[in-house]
């Protein structure tokens, strides 16, 4: 498949024909965090499967819908459900969401995920504002022929998780019932959870949380110079941190208990950006 500029433009042209307006912010909702989409006022819903050259989510807890509307007085475009390498997608395909956001004119992207806690001071139900990430596995989503219309062949990622947006997120934590940290996210391809040995290595390398998403989207945002905020909900302690086994059901249980507080928190952030 030739993933050229025109390939991604076809997705954007279809979405533009339906939503008309330019979003102030674009949001990607991670595992079991889809309830936030219910907050969108006057929603316009587009099924992923109807968007030309877009991808479809195969994870049961991901709705697979693009929703446009208003939150906190801001026009937002929300992806309820995301895509992962473990679903069988090539890394190059995983550029699709952020490139769609860019072509639609979104000013910033907000990416959320469910993550395992590596930092032993964290606990399930906490939130981590991502300051940086570690990726030591797999190719880059920007491999292959560079698309100059999106960005340069070689690009800087020093401020990939935009400092200004991180500061806003940390300020918005004041008064929240959530415990909010700032830390480093480490990417693993999945779909298996990480081994205890991998988690010990992650901690030595400086990771505070681990997960199977976000990094491909963050790299794509950096390539096209899109400001980015990443938020991890700590849904469990990673393998070996406790004696408990890890399950996807546990992820859903924890996100369910803090769904309202997390939604309030994200909505407050959206109002500020």
The residues annotated with a catalytic role in the active site are 31, 62, 84, 86-87, 114, 212-213, 236, 248
Q: Which two tokens stand for residue 136?
A: 């030591």
Q: For 83, phi and psi rounded to 5 degrees?
A: -120, 150
Pairing between strand 209-211 and 180-187?
parallel
Up-side HSE of residue 208: CA atoms within 13 Å toward CB?
Answer: 21
Q: What is the DSSP string of 231-256?
A: EEEEEEEPBTTBSPPP-HHHHHHHHH
Look at the block and give the residue holding tokens 């390498």: 85
Beta carbons of 101 and 26 less than 8 angstroms apart: yes
Residue 7 belongs to what H/E stretch? helix 5-19
Cα–Cα distance measured from residue 101 to residue 108, given in angstroms and rounded to the nearest whole number: 9
Residue 268 belongs to what H/E stretch? helix 259-272
Helix axis angle, 163-172 to 259-272, nearest 10°: 130
Beta carbons of 166 and 131 less than 8 angstroms apart: yes
């Amino acid at each position: 498949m030739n993933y050229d500029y025109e390939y991604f433009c076809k997705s954007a042209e279809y979405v533009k024909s339906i939503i008309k307006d330019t979003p102030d912010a674009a949001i990607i909702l991670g595992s079991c965090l889809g309830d936030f989409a219910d907050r969108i006022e006057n929603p316009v819903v587009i099924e992923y499967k109807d968007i030309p050259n877009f991808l479809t989510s195969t994870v049961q807890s991901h709705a697979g819908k693009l929703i446009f509307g208003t939150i906190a007085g801001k026009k937002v475009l929300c992806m309820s459900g995301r895509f992962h390498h473990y679903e069988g997608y090539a890394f190059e395909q995983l550029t699709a969401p952020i490139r769609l956001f860019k072509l639609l004119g979104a000013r910033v992207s907000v990416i959320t995920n469910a993550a395992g806690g590596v930092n032993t001071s964290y606990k399930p139900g906490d939130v981590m504002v991502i300051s940086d990430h570690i990726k030591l596995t797999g190719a880059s989503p920007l491999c292959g022929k560079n698309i100059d219309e999106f960005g340069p062949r070689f690009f800087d990622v020093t401020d990939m998780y935009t400092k200004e947006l991180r500061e806003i997120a940390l300020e918005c934590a004041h008064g929240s019932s959530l415990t909010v940290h700032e830390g480093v996210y480490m990417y693993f391809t999945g779909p298996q959870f990480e081994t205890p040995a991998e988690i010990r290595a992650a901690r030595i390398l400086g990771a505070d949380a681990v997960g199977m998403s976000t990094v491909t989207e963050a790299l794509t945002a950096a390539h096209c110079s899109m400001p980015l905020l990443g938020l991890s909900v700590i849904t469990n302690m990673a393998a070996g941190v406790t004696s408990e086994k890890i399950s996807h059901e546990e992820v859903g249980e924890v996100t369910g208990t803090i769904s309202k507080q997390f939604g309030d928190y994200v909505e407050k952030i959206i109002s500020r950006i």
